[in-house]
Amino acid sequence: MNQPPLIGLDVGGTNVRAARLERREDGALAIVARRQGSVRADLSPTGVATTCVQLIDESLNGLDVSSAVVGVGLAGQLAADRDRVLNAPNLGWRDVAFGSLLKSLLRGAKVAVYNDLSSIVWGEYRAGAAQGFDDLLAVYVGTGIGGGLILAGQLYEGFAANAGEIGHSKLPGISARCGCGQIGCIEAIAGGLALERRLVEDRARGFLQGTSEALNASHVERAVAAGDVYADALWTEVSESLSLVLANAIGLLNPRGLLLGGGVLDGCPELRRRTVEGLAKHTVAVAWRGLEVVAPSLGADAGPMGAAMLALSEHR
């Protein structure tokens, strides 16, 4: 076997997922081992790196780590060299040279770090629902809102590796402050965390009664189906805002595919339906024509697969 061991990692604020990939007889890369570990107990860079090393060792099952190629998708903003993590709010990190740290613990393995959404988008493009879409806009509405771009078959990361911050597109009339510190971001009304905060306030004002559970987007989705007027108006507002931001980006880029994913959109088909309906209305006709809207198909495998594939392309 002359292919080096290939590992992909997805590092979030709760868990690390690791996968080992091998090339099948038909030439495609496929996952042959998966591991997952919690990082909740120790979110320090060394603690997270140690968890990564353990999961990598388990995935390798005796293979030599020093010859491995390791791609890491990480939820954070990276420096242009992609070694340093400038800001990872979920991990509580600022200016951490995570790539070097992990490499030093892996006895010379080749390590490359990417933004988590870039990894996910690349995974879906190379092995999932977005295969064949050489011009692709991906937008994931989960806790926050993130974006990724494939342009002419290449991952587009921008000059400082931070392209895709579509969640911080501004709209008039949004007064809540966003996690980025600014006012007017779409994420501050349509991101899952922002929605949950708003639902707490609105329940105190008398809306969405009937359950004592902490409210989230799924509760709104169910209330819309049950004919709740408040929930219906909220989904109209959120879908309209999302579709305006997406329509502007589609007009700018003229992608062939729009990959819409993330926990909020995956779990709320009515919100998704209204958002796509709004796109048909707001997107300039020449860019709407021929555009395909798709949903992710790889689930939690997309991040580790994409990170591994990106790292392999750098270290061939």
Please give the residue ranges that form the binding site for Zn ion (CB under 5 A).
168, 178, 180, 182, 185
Pick 168 or 203: Cβ nearer Zn ion: 168
Q: From the CB of 303, what's the least distance to Zn ion, in Å?
A: 22
Q: From the CB of 185, what's the least distance to Zn ion, in Å?
A: 3
Nearest-angstrom CA–CA distance, 70 and 112: 6
Burial of 48 per CB tally in 10 Å (0-12, 13-18, 19+): buried
Q: From the CB of 194, what's the least distance to Zn ion, in Å?
A: 10
Pick 117 or 224: Cβ nearer Zn ion: 117
Pick 37 or 89: Cβ nearer Zn ion: 89
How many helices (DSSP H) and strands (DSSP E) are in the chain?
A: 11, 13
- How would you classify residue 190: left for phi > 0, otherwise alpha for psi between -120 and 50, otherwise beta? alpha
Q: From the CB of 143, what's the least distance to Zn ion, in Å?
A: 13
β-bridge partners, 37? 16
Pick 190 or 215: Cβ nearer Zn ion: 190
The total of other beta-carbon atoms located within 10 Å of residue 313's CB is 15
Nearest-angstrom CA–CA distance, 267 and 142: 10
Q: From the CB of 245, what's the least distance to Zn ion, in Å?
A: 12
Pick 148 or 304: Cβ nearer Zn ion: 148
